[in-house]
Chains A and B, each alone.
Chain A
Amino acid sequence: MQRALVDQAKRGDREAFDALARMVGDRCMAIAYRILRDADRADDAVQAALIMAWRELRTLRDSDRFEPWLHRILTNECYAEARRRRRWSTQIRLLPMPGQRESGEISAINDRDQLDRAFRRLTIEQRSVIVFHHYVGLPLTEVADRLGIPVGTAKSRLHHATNALRASLEADARSPSSSQERLA
């Protein structure tokens, strides 16, 4: 089904590409959001990736490889979004969260906040490896293929990123209260 649509789209069939986009778009959005942690930017990245995929589709030799190929384009668009986000780094500042959390709130929320902060501190390349490995569920060899990097690099990024996330949880467990700040 997907292969047939790819082949039709390669021949310039816009309806086929539209159907193809709707078949894979949700998955792309889920991946992009988890890399970027921002729904608007993820939306922009997915749109840009789909448009790029349409333009470059004829360069895809193996139609069965459409989704891995698209994911690589998507990842590059996420990197581009992250770059644009950092274009004015002086604007990134710490603001107090509105209101304080209730003291009895479950620790899961603290865990989530800690993970969120730790995740945002990872490089965009490390986030990508984490997302494709832990969220999409790909083995490292496939992650490396999808991101266009050596397996050793994927392994190293995963190792450092996972350690950083674990450390954030352990630090939180040792701390009586978590910071109430967020990145603006």
Chain B
Amino acid sequence: MTARRDPDRLIRAFLDEGPDELPDHSYDAVRAHIDHTRQRVVIGPWREPRMSNFARIGIAAAAVLAIAVIGVNLLPGQGPGVGQGPSPSPSATATPSPTATPSPSPVAMALPFSGDLGAGTFYIEDRFITNAERFTFTVPDGWKTDSDTFITKNGEEPGEVLLAPWVVSHIFSDACQWEDTRQSLLDAGETVDELVNLLVDQEGRQASAPTEVMLGGFPATRIELTVPADLDTATCTNGNLRYWPGAGPDMSSGLCCNPAGNTDVVYVVDVDGNRLVLVARHYPESSAEDRAELQAVVDSIEIDP
């Protein structure tokens, strides 16, 4: 005969298991970090400490417009309904005129974990992914994010377009034959040039000539990396190309898996000495409109270092 099990007690017992001490070296690492980190200066009690420049500008513009509208309406002989006021309405409630009401400012929202985004401005605040304080971009309707910080349109369809920021610490010397990591995993250094040179030399994709551009207000190098149309990716390790692991290196994550003919436009950005990598991926089947949207998203990027 067995004793009857109490699920809640089992759940609590399960939660009680596991480590409950932070190792000493972790405290030391935190201390070493804060020794070189200044605290954020707070000016005034109501300042939103993490507001982006974009949002600041938007709110400031809305405030200026609102003040202007109020000022116009308070001028003698310029009350509501005069000239640009609302049309007469049977309703007792005055309806604001479209011309007198400022349209809502696009305030950035944190990128959700998954789902359709809808048209709007989104941000990522995760230095492990963007190497910046805040990474902001604007998308039109039709884009979604799926299971993390990638954003895509027509995800998992032949015409997909995709945008993903990365912090890259290592790359595989051969994107196709990447199994023996001791030989194929290369330290990508810290500068833009170091990584770009490794990308140019990476086996398994064809690289365009790097060009100097600006992205989000910071200098960047742009390079197009295309999987040769005649490459049989089934011959690659695990049947997939793999370009780099997660930063660290974290071999459990990384950028991978595009088919022959696919192109990654890679921007390696110097954000005040921190390197950010941005991948804008399109496929041969991606429509011109979607590629233009992808470029527009890239052009909308703002980076708060």
Residue positions of A touching B, CB distance < 8 A: 10, 12, 14, 17-18, 21-22, 25-30, 33-34, 39, 42-43, 46-48, 50-51, 54-59, 61, 79-80, 83-91, 107, 111-112, 115-116, 119, 130-131, 134-135, 162, 165-166, 169-170, 173
- B26 near A39 (CB under 8 angstroms)? no
Docked Cα-Cα span, A131 to B15, in Å, equals: 7
Within 17-42 of B, Cβ neighbours of A (below 8 Å) are at 17-23, 26-27, 29-31, 33-35, 37-42
A134-B41 CB under 8 A given contacts A25-B22, A47-B30, A84-B246: no
- B39 near A88 (CB under 8 angstroms)? no
A83-B45 CB under 8 A given contacts A26-B22, A88-B246: no
- B39 near A87 (CB under 8 angstroms)? no
Docked Cα-Cα span, A61 to B45, in Å, equals: 8
Question: Interface size for chain B: under 10, 10 to 19, 20 to 34, or 35 or more residues?
Answer: 35 or more
A88-B256 CB under 8 A given contacts A26-B20, A47-B29, A58-B41: yes
Docked Cα-Cα span, A107 to B3, in Å, equals: 11
- B253 near A18 (CB under 8 angstroms)? no
- B11 near A59 (CB under 8 angstroms)? no
Of all chain B residues, the one with the shortest Cβ separation from A27 is B20
- Which of B12, B147, B252 is A134 in contact with, Cβ under 8 Å? B12
The 10 closest A-B pairs by CB, nearest first: A30-B20, A25-B22, A29-B22, A88-B253, A87-B253, A135-B15, A166-B7, A115-B14, A83-B148, A54-B34
- Which of A17, A111, A162 is B5 in contact with, Cβ under 8 Å? A111
- A91 near B21 (CB under 8 angstroms)? no
- B14 near A116 (CB under 8 angstroms)? yes
B128 CB, min distance to chain A CBs, angstroms? 6
- Over the window 272-291 of chain B, the binary record of Cβ atoms lying under 8 Å from chain A Cβ atoms (1 yes, 0 no) is 00000000000000000000
B117 CB, min distance to chain A CBs, angstroms? 16
Apart from A87-B246, A134-B15, list 15 A-B contacts with CB within 8 A: A21-B27, A25-B27, A26-B20, A26-B22, A47-B33, A56-B40, A59-B40, A86-B147, A88-B253, A90-B256, A111-B5, A135-B16, A162-B11, A166-B7, A169-B10
Whether, in the assembled complex, B218 has its beta carbon less than 8 Å from a beta carbon of chain A, the answer is no
- B148 near A86 (CB under 8 angstroms)? yes
- Which of A25, A83, A119, A130 is B126 in contact with, Cβ under 8 Å? A83
Q: Which residues of A contact B14 (CB under 8 A)?
A: 111-112, 115-116, 119
A134-B253 CB under 8 A given contacts A18-B27, A18-B31, A46-B26: no
- A84 near B129 (CB under 8 angstroms)? yes
Whether, in the assembled complex, B254 has its beta carbon less than 8 Å from a beta carbon of chain A, the answer is yes
Docked Cα-Cα span, A180 to B84, in Å, equals: 73
Q: Which residues of A contact B16 (CB under 8 A)?
A: 135
- A55 near B22 (CB under 8 angstroms)? no
- Which of A48, A58, A166 is B40 in contact with, Cβ under 8 Å? A58
Docked Cα-Cα span, A14 to B22, in Å, equals: 19
A-B contact pairs, 30 of them (CB 8 A): A17-B34, A21-B27, A21-B31, A29-B26, A33-B20, A39-B18, A39-B19, A46-B22, A48-B128, A54-B39, A56-B40, A57-B39, A58-B40, A58-B42, A59-B40, A80-B129, A83-B126, A85-B253, A86-B147, A86-B148, A90-B256, A111-B10, A130-B11, A130-B15, A131-B15, A134-B15, A166-B7, A166-B11, A169-B10, A170-B7
- Over the window 44-61 of chain B, the binary record of Cβ atoms lying under 8 Å from chain A Cβ atoms (1 yes, 0 no) is 010001000000000000
Whether, in the assembled complex, B257 has its beta carbon less than 8 Å from a beta carbon of chain A, the answer is yes
A60 CB, min distance to chain B CBs, angstroms? 10
Whether, in the assembled complex, B221 has its beta carbon less than 8 Å from a beta carbon of chain A, the answer is no
A47-B26 CB under 8 A given contacts A91-B253, A135-B16, A169-B7: yes
B159 CB, min distance to chain A CBs, angstroms? 20
